[in-house]
Amino acid sequence: MDGNIEGQVDNYQQAAQHHAIVGSGIRAVLNDQGVPVTLFSMYRAFSLQVDKIIRQHDGETRRYLLQMAVDRWTFRGLNSEVLRAICHQVFSLSGDDLRPSVEVRLLPAAEQPRADPREPVWSRALHAAPQRKGRAFARA
């Protein structure tokens, strides 16, 4: 500790209050949107990322990182409309801050291209791993 206990306590109280307000706002949005409770933690993780981006960046960098965050969590299976509602209602971000980036359509697993369709995916990863020369274990 640096001897400034009062300042540290004040900083902690402010951060705890901020996270409590953000958490209650997120729960309100998720309940209004009818999101299953099992997904709340993923939306909470998204909100923590958005909060960090807002605190650390501004301007074009912020806009770009917010777009990437929405895209990333959409690709992870979350609803992009709910993500945008969180940004708008909880963090008071405008539509300009959340302009959609390039539209990407994910292929179903059965349609994704493979080097050899008969080869399982884990096999390619195994063969791509670097191989050691010599024996892995010494004989006793």
Q: Determine the Cα–Cα distance for residues 119 and 110; give it in Å rounded to an integer.
A: 13
Q: What is the dihedral of CA 103, 53, 16, 80, to 10 degrees?
A: 0
Q: Where are the domains of the chain?
A: 12-101
CATH architecture group of domain 12-101: Up-down Bundle (1.20)
Reported as a single tens digit per residue, the pLDDT across 53-110 is 999 998 888 888 999 999 999 999 999 999 999 999 998 888 766 664 445 455 555 5
CB atoms within 10 A of CB 57: 14
Q: Say what the pLDDT of residue 109 is.
A: 56
pTM score over 0.85: no
CA 81 remoteness from chain centre: 15
